[in-house]
Amino acid sequence: MKPDLFEAPDYYNLDELLTDEHKLVRDAAREWVKREVSPIIEEYAQKAEFPTQIINGLAEIGAFGPYIPMEYGGAGLDQISYGLIMQEIERGDSGVRSTASVQSSLVMYPIWKYGNEEQRQKYLPKLASGEWIGCFGLTEPDHGSNPGGMVTNFKDKGDHYLLNGAKMWISNAPFAQVAIVWAKDETGRIHGLIVERGMEGFTTPETHNKWSLRASATGELIFDNVKVPKENLLPNKSGLGAPLGCLDSARYGIAWGAIGAAMDCYDTALRYSKERMQFGKPIGQFQLQQKKLAEMITEITKAQLLTWRLGVLRNHGKATSAQISMAKRNNVDMAINIAREARQMLGGMGITGEYSIMRHSMNLESVITYEGTHDIHLLITGLDITGLNAFK
């Protein structure tokens, strides 16, 4: 793997829109990724293993629930800081960012927002410090884009709930201590349950042979008559809106994260284009290559502005789910296209793991699929602007 020479593009001086603290948080994450993630990530992606040794460092840079209040072990930062941390981590690898997104937005967020005080005190500090890793079980084998159709369910047995069903494609599942599981009660209403590793009947087989997010562990959650204590039900919100609220937070982070992956591909291709000589010239001197680079930086700049504005809206509690869908869809698509173009600019070198581009390119195939596919986000925008529901 080549040394990480990353220099972040900021074509419109967007740094001027950030506070000093935003920049401090971002630069710390950036330095940490250079030091701890870049040197090892290729090896872990190749061997399809999550690098557990970086969990501590992720916690230190605030990747686990940066916007969670300090009393629960979070950092009490704003949404732009959260976004910037996700951007920097995904600049390193989307798989590592996935672990941080799941922990922050899909595990800590619902405990903080939908849990009671005892649940917050019990789980949040350990999740913020990385002592516990969590996962989020919504998708099922037969219910992906349509999670409302889920069949995982629980029955009230007086002193406990009895949980049955299965979840699929769950990030962090193979090693998570805690799972936020979405399941229907006897009336068909969706609730969140906190399931802990070690509960009888609960297993988490790993999903093998992924060609994407290889440095992130994915697995199933299988519930075979699992007795869940009643105090493990998240009491303060139910219905499909509860998991969707978590997804809003995670998708927002992904919109930033995708910019990180795109920046890394662009920066690598730009540097390579000035060094690689063909026909007696650096390839960056050929118009076709300049077109690619110019379009990349244009798209990155547009995505940066979109996402910064979304961050301001979120800081004021005013970002709608549809606005978040637009940013997630646009930015991931932007990143995947940049990864493909950048890959071509490196010729054969772009095929090897010596450069990060092919890894980003493959990772982004998952990112464009999870947390709502590219199509589904388009339909959300369609519904929002026409008022006509294409899902039904």
Partner 1 sequence: MKILVCISHVPDTTSKINFTEENTKFDSNGVQFVINPNDEFGLTRAMWFKEKQGAEVTVVNVGTSETEPTLRKALAIGADGAIRINTPATNSFSVAKQLANVAKDGAYDLIIAGRESIDYNGGMVPGMLAALIDANFVNNCINLDVEGSDAKATREIDGGKETVSTTLPLVIGGQKGLVEESDLRIPNMRGIMMARKKPLTVVEANETSKETTSISFEKPTPKGAVKLVASDNIDELVNLLHNEAKVI
Ligand X SMILES: Cc1cc2nc3c(=O)[nH]c(=O)nc-3n(C[C@H](O)[C@H](O)[C@H](O)COP(=O)(O)OP(=O)(O)OC[C@H]3O[C@@H](n4cnc5c(N)ncnc54)[C@H](O)[C@@H]3O)c2cc1C
Contact yes or no for 63/81 (Cβ under 8 A): no
Cα dihedral 187, 189, 193, 197, rounded to 10, equals: 70
Exposed e or buried b per residue across 187-211, where buried means at least 16 C-beta atoms within 10 angstroms of its C-beta: eeebbbbbbbeeeeebebeeeeebe
DSSP string, 183-238: EE-TTS-EEEEEEETT-TTEE-PBPP--SSSTTS-EEEEEEEEEEEEGGGB--S--
Residues 63-92 that bind partner 1 (CB under 8 A): 66, 70, 75-76
**Which residue of 2, 23, 227, 302 would you call a contact of partner 1, by CB under 8 A?**
23
CA distance 111 to 32: 28
Identified binder of partner 1 from the candidate list 62, 95, 165, 257, rule CB under 8 A: 62
327 binds ligand X (CB under 6 A): no
25 interacts with, out of partner 1, ligand X, none, CB within 5 to 8 A per kind: partner 1
Q: Which of 182, 303, 321 is nearest to 250 (CA)?
A: 321
196-235 residues near ligand X, rule: CB under 6 A: 213, 218
60 lies in the site for partner 1, by CB under 8 A: yes
Give catalytic residues, as residue numbers.
371
Note whether 230 binds partner 1 by CB under 8 A.
no
**Residue 27 or 156 with smaller CB distance to partner 1:** 27
Residue 369 binds ligand X, judged by CB under 6 A? yes
Q: Please say which residue, 27 or 375, places its beta carbon nearer to ligand X.
A: 375
Interface map 156-195 toward ligand X (x if CB under 6 A)? -------------xxx------------------------
Interaction of residue 103 with ligand X, rule CB under 6 A: no
Q: Which stretch binds partner 1 (CB under 8 A): 58-66, 255-263, 288-296, 305-313?
A: 58-66
Least Å distance between CB 140 and ligand X? Answer: 8
Instruction: Kindly state whether residue 300 participates in binding partner 1, applying the rule CB under 8 A.
Output: no
Residue 114 touches which of ligand X, partner 1, none (CB < 5 to 8 A by kind)?
Answer: none
The answer for 358, left when phi > 0, alpha when psi is -120 to 50, beta otherwise, is alpha
Handedness of CA 191, 63, 74, 323 (dihedral sign): negative
Question: What is the phi-psi region of residue 65: left when phi exceeds 0, alpha when psi lies from -120 to 50, beta otherwise?
Answer: left
Q: For strand 134-137 and strand 178-184, is the pairing parallel, antiparallel, or unpaired?
A: parallel
| Contacting range for ligand X; rule: CB under 6 A; set: 249-257, 306-314, 347-355, 374-382 | 374-382
Beta carbon of residue 84, minimum distance to partner 1 (angstroms, whole number)? 12
Segments in 33-78 forming alpha helices (H): 38-46, 55-60
271 lies in the binding site for partner 1 (CB under 8 A): no
Which residues in 106-165 contact ligand X (CB under 6 A)?
135-139, 144-145
Residues 71, 73: Cα–Cα separation, whole Å: 6
Which residue(s) pair with 167 in the sheet? 221
Report 152-211 residues binding partner 1 (CB under 8 A). Answer: none
| Cβ count near 26 (within 10 Å) | 21
Interface residues toward ligand X, by CB under 6 A: 102, 135-139, 144-145, 169-171, 213, 218, 366, 369-371, 373, 375-376, 379, 391
Interface residues toward partner 1, by CB under 8 A: 7, 10, 13, 20-21, 23-25, 27-28, 31-32, 35, 60-62, 66, 70, 75-76
